[in-house]
Amino acid sequence: MLRDRNSSAIVAVRDIDRARAFYEDTLGLKRLDGAGEEMLAFATGETVLTVYVSEFAGTNRANAVTWDMRGDMVETVEALKAKGVAFEHYPDLPDLTLNGDIHEAGDIKLVWFKDPDGNILHLIEGM
């Protein structure tokens, strides 16, 4: 029923202006028109990331958004780090080696970082 449909992520935030700065300026996403005062929409690949105000912002302790990288993981991590993004390190994850800020398992590269509300964002390459 849904296998031929695109899906998209939705992320709760407390401060929409702070979220706009992070997702638009830090991550470089293009903001789409018409979302409203307490909701933003960003183009990301062929999908849309929706960011909205909620009292429950940052309460999810799992990945909120995942981006599929295409051979540019190292460059993206360096660019984000230059903009002040701090990466999460999970040294106890089985079968992964931490190389700088990038977790590796063979050809697979993974990184995690948080937005200003603590939502966990994830980049993956090689899957």
* pLDDT average, residue stretch 36-44: 92
Pairing mode, if any, of strands 10-13 and 47-53? parallel
Q: What is the pLDDT of residues 46-103, one digit of tens each?
A: 899 999 999 999 899 999 999 999 999 999 999 999 999 999 999 889 999 999 999 9
* pLDDT average, residue stretch 97-120: 96
> In angstroms, rounded to a whole number, what is the distance separating the alpha carbons of residues 9 and 61?
15
Nearby residues of 92 by Cβ (< 8 Å), 6 or more positions away: none
pLDDT at 1 over 90: no
